[in-house]
Each structure stands twice: as structure tokens, then as C-alpha cells.
């Protein structure tokens, strides 16, 4: 699968992508990542990619021409694909979206803006989807694009040595993961739950289910459809 990131920081994308499972998947040829420099598609002496917003307001907006020309160049060279604008105002990127993209797309174009946002004409006329990775303010779409690439790439057959459906397991049952422990059994007097050392597999499963439920209740009551006291969620 090919991921094409349109950005003014192409080196950031390529350097980040060399690490972890993505680096391996890329060497295996399962995943290919390209970073296209939006600045290469400016035509003025200062290589300007942003401008003041019509209607006023703080900050700068990424200009439509360099972004669209960059996209058209990449599409003409590599072929068509799903076009996604990374935006704080996008639809929330969830595991289900990652699964959908992994199964239905061979080539993704991820437009990562910087500044206060991208000229809406890019989103409205040249993109299929607008995605946010969560309710917090970042300074650009570069890390969000990397998040999408990582989440989608690890679902592809043969990435991670796959394990195919195992890679999807974590959020599938709607609970958070149960806590895990490894050696040593005693770290500075802090032990591990006895039952995990018991060899009683039925008891172990039961403990893990209860621990997962307890953790979900504490950290993500929204996943259980319970009322959140306003402690953990927004901001």
C-alpha cells in the first residue's frame, strides 16, 4: 500500500517513518511512503504557502494552488487514490476508519496542513475525507498523518509478521486491554498479581476480564456507555 503525504515538512515524515514496524514493512515492500513538498509547487520568489484569511481573523491559511498542484502532480505520477485532508475540524479517526482504509485503498494521499488550516476549497473539491485524530490542538497535520499511516499500515497482511486479525483485536471487544506484567516477579517489593503465577488458566482469564473491565470503568467509562462524571474526558 502507498501513502503519499503532502506537507511543507517532508523530511519530518520520511525520518519518522524509518522507525518501528513501518521501517520493516517498507523494507519488505508492503508499505511505501512518499512525502511531497508543497513548497515545490509555489511560484513566487519567497515560495509562499500561506496567506491571510478572507474575512479576517488570527493566523494564516494554507493556499489552495500549491496544495492542489502538488496533489495533481503526485496523482499524475503515481495514479489515483483516496484523498484525505488532515484537519482539526475533521471526522474523528478511529480504529474502524483505519480498518476501512486498510481494506479498501491501495493508495492514500494525506494532505497535512500547517498554520491555522487549509483553504476549504481543497477539502470541498479535491478530498474524499477530512480526518482529525482527536480533540486537542496541534500546530499542523504532520503528526496526524503519521498516526494514520501507522494505524493503517499495521493492519495490512504481513506487517508485524502478521498475525492478521490479531492486530485488530485490541479495540474489538470494546474494552481496554488488561494490565500485563513480566519478570521480575518482585520489583523493589512490588509484586505481580498472584493469580497470574498460579497456572490456573480459567482463573487467569477471569482475572484479566475483571481487570480490563475495572480499567475501562476508570479510564474510559464512555466505552461502557456509563455516565462520565466529567473527570476524564474533554480537556
Q: Does 101 bind ligand 9D3 (CB under 6 A)?
A: no
Residue from 32, 35, 150 nearest 98 by CA: 150
β-pairing, 61-62 vs 50-51, is antiparallel
Among positions 113-142, residues that touch ligand 9D3 (CB under 6 A) are 113, 116-117, 132-134, 136-141
Bridge partner list, 82 = 108
Interface with ligand 9D3 by CB under 6 A: which range of 42-50, 85-93, 94-102, 175-183?
85-93
Q: Does 66 bind ligand 9D3 (CB under 6 A)?
A: no
Tell whether omega for the bond before 90 is within 30 degrees of 0, i.e. cis. no
Distance CA 20, CA 149 (A): 12
Among positions 152-181, residues that touch ligand 9D3 (CB under 6 A) are none
Interface with ligand 9D3 by CB under 6 A: which range of 13-21, 47-55, 84-92, 159-167?
84-92
Q: How far is the CB of 51 from ligand 9D3 (least distance, A)?
A: 15
Residue from 114, 116, 11 nearest 66 by CA: 114
State which residue, 33 or 61, has the beta carbon closest to ligand 9D3.
61
Q: Does 144 bind ligand 9D3 (CB under 6 A)?
A: yes
Between helices 142-153 and 20-27, what is the axis angle to 10°?
Answer: 60
Q: Which residues bind ligand 9D3 (CB under 6 A)?
A: 86-88, 113, 116-117, 132-134, 136-141, 144
Amino acid at each position: 500500500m502507498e501513502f503519499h503525504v503532502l506537507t511543507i515538512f517532508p523530511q519530518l515524515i520520511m525520518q519518522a517513518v524509518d522507525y518501528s514496524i513501518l521501517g520493516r514493512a517498507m523494507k519488505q515492500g508492503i508499505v511505501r511512503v512518499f512525502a511531497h513538498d508543497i513548497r515545490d509547487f509555489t511560484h513566487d520568489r519567497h515560495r509562499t504557502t500561506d496567506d491571510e484569511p478572507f474575512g479576517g481573523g488570527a493566523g494564516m491559511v494554507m493556499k489552495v494552488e500549491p496544495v492542489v498542484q502538488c496533489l495533481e502532480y503526485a496523482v499524475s505520477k503515481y495514479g489515483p487514490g483516496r484523498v484525505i485532508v488532515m484537519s482539526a475540524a475533521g471526522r474523528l479517526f478511529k480504529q474502524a476508519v483505519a480498518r476501512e482504509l486498510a481494506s479498501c485503498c491501495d493508495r492514500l494521499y494525506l494532505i497535512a496542513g500547517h498554520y491555522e488550516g487549509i483553504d476549504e476549497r481543497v477539502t470541498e473539491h479535491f478530498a474524499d475525507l477530512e480526518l482529525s485524530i482527536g480533540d486537542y490542538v496541534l500546530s499542523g497535520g504532520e503528526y496526524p498523518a503519521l498516526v494514520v499511516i501507522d494505524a493503517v499500515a499495521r493492519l495490512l497482511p504481513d506487517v508485524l509478521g502478521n498475525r492478521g486479525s490479531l492486530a485488530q483485536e485490541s479495540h474489538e471487544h470494546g474494552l481496554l486491554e488488561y494490565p500485563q506484567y513480566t519478570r521480575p516477579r518482585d520489583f523493589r517489593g512490588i509484586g505481580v498479581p498472584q493469580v497470574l503465577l498460579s497456572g490456573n488458566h480459567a482463573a487467569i482469564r477471569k482475572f484479566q476480564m475483571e481487570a480490563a473491565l475495572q480499567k475501562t470503568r476508570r479510564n474510559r467509562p464512555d466505552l461502557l456507555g456509563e455516565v462520565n462524571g466529567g473527570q476524564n474526558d474533554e480537556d
